[in-house]
Structure 1
Amino acid sequence: MRGRKPLGGPGVPPNSMVIKRIKREIADLAKEDTGGITLTPNESNILSWRATLPGPPGSPYEGGIFEVDIRIPDDYPFSPPHLHFLTQVYHCNIAPSGAICLDLLKTNWSPALSLYKVILSLSSLLTDPNPSDPLVPQIAQQYKRDRKKHDQTAREYVKMYALPKPSAPVKPTTEAVASSSRPKPIHRPESGSAPSTTIAGTRRARTHGVGAGDDTIDITSDGEDDSDVEVLGEGSNRVNGSGRRSGRRKKARVESDEVIVVDD
């Protein structure tokens, strides 16, 4: 069986010429203003590319983003690349399988063309279908007889298959989550300020400059006189309102120098 003649002559690797051509196209792309069109080679296979093109303004495909798979043959650019749509398109020259009917990819191919020019031709095909050479005759007939219905169906396909996907919400970082779950610090009163004292059953409290010396906080319980319960500072006389020393006393430590005395 006769083998295929290597490209570029004897001793030259078969793909050396095509790789050189593709690298030149990559360099040219970097200088082009491609608008919304993207052309990206596969990192592991330079003969496999992926393109995206926006639906042309004013066409039924406006607002959509269409993805195209590109396969470059070993004898490129002497043979055209193989393209097919990955996005579903309602178009008389584009089959449901993604196959494309475009003269540029067949008889009208020229080695002077580039991948970028091919994608531009696809964009023009979306704007101006060719119903005289259809790949889907039913759509071509509708395009000729009921253009309004055709365009409406094409827009519905855009909504179903070609609208850009919304970007994923940004997840909070680990630090932000940890910060929000961290308990807030408790601010304790400085030394010399009035301590917060709570006794079950009390209904009012009067503060008389709590601090060092004989200053007193009087806390009145339900059913008792104001003088029956006292918080005494260090050095205070423990007496009730009648001037008599109190009877039994219930003591509870509040601070290092304060005692709650409850007279029964």
Structure 2
Amino acid sequence: MSAMNSMSNVENLSPQIIRRVVKEMNDLVNDPPEGIKVSINDEDISDIQAYIEGPAGTPYAGGVFRVKLALGKDFPQTPPKAFFLTKIFHPNVAKNGEICVNTLKKDWKPDLGIKHILLTVKCLLIVPNAESALNEEAGKLLLEQYECYSQRAKMMTEIHALSSKVPKAGLEVAASSADGPMAKKHAGDKKVTADKEKKKLLKDKKRTLKRQIGCTKSDMVTGCSNFTMTTVLPSTGDLTIPTTARS
């Protein structure tokens, strides 16, 4: 069973660790980092989810990406597992969504907080690391055909990430009884029409993406982390980029 689908580990965490995680999550809700919003699971504090906005100046700009941190029974002595739940084309993200970053591997320290982890994941969207490529195709394109890589990443963002919604604390979406049945009917009709248009748009974009994949059928390097690190993305100055290296 994958880490994304594993059962809760909250019963294996000590009360002290649970209090620490609860405090960190509350701090993130009250004072969120720019472009990051967390979603608290009151029934399972070991299941941490967040929404990360794609940074400006990257192929992920305009997207909202859902990320999951799964705390294991030995947390914080061992790092959590991190996954993108939103599909993304990125060298350091496997097809199952698993994220490869040294902060969650050999550079892990028990005193690192959830905020630090989420900022590190956001920084991966700014500066991917081809040396730790879990997606070999994306890693090779990043180094050798950046424009093709950028087009693929943008297309995946448009298909899968633009429809994501960042939840607002305490927001409840419910139809008011004062609206009456006719108002609800018209709202339902509009929703059906919008859904049809959205499905047609996504289908067209997927066709375009399949055509673009044809330009990437060159031989791929087998094995993880066999690339030479090259910084190819334009620089953005909002975040301090944590040092990442091959895992």
Q: Which TM-score bucket, shorter chain as reference?
A: 0.5 to 0.7
State the alpha-carbon separation in 2 of the partners of residues 113 and 56 from structure 1.
23
Cα separation, partners in 2 of 1:166 and 1:23, compared to 1, 3 Å:
closer
The answer on 1:35 being equivalent to 2:34 is yes
Deviations 1:99-134 (A, max 9, x none): 111101011001221111101001110111111221
Q: Report if aligned partners of 2:28, 2:37 keep a CA contact under 8 Å in 1.
A: no
Q: Tell me the distance in 2 between the aligned counterparts of 1:80 and 1:34.
A: 21
AA in 1 matched with 2:19: K
Structure 1 residues 151 and 179: CA distance shift in structure 2, 3 A: closer
| Letter aligned with residue 141 of structure 2 | Q
The aligned runs of 1:142-153 (5 Å cut-off) are 142-153=141-152
Residue 27 of structure 1, CA deviation? 4.2
C-alpha distance in 1, partners of 2:60/2:150? 9
Distance 1:47 1:95 in 2: 22
Structure with bigger strand share is 1
Q: Is the 8 A contact 1:18 1:75 kept in 2?
A: no
Contact 2:63 2:164 in 1 (8 A): no
Q: C-alpha distance in 2, partners of 1:115/1:98? A: 18
Aligned to 1:257: none
Do the aligned partners of 1:41 and 1:47 also contact (CA within 8 Å) in 2? no
Count matched residues.
Answer: 166
Tell me the percent identity: 29
Tell me what 1:89 maps to: 88
Question: What does the per-residue CA deviation read over 1:235-255, in whole Å, with 9 as the maximum and x for residues that have no partner?
Answer: xxxxxxxxxxxxxxxxxxxxx
Higher share in helix = 2
Cα pair distance change 1:177/1:70, threshold 3 Å? same
- In structure 1, stretches of 5+ residues that fail to align are 1-12, 181-264
1:164 is displaced (CA, Å) by 3.0
Deviation at 1:60, TM superposition (A): 0.4
Q: 1:31 to 1:150 in 2, by over 3 A?
A: same
Report if the CA contact (8 A) 2:66-2:86 is conserved.
Answer: yes
**TM-aligned CA deviation for residue 74 of structure 1:** 2.4
**Uncovered stretches (5+) of structure 2, i.e. residues with no partner:** 1-11, 167-172, 184-247
Higher relative CO (CA 8 A, sep ≥ 6), structure 1 or 2? 2
Q: TM-score, normalised by structure 2?
A: 0.61
| Structure 1 position 109 matched with structure 2 position 108 | yes
How far residue 173 of structure 1 moved from its aligned partner, in angstroms, is 5.0
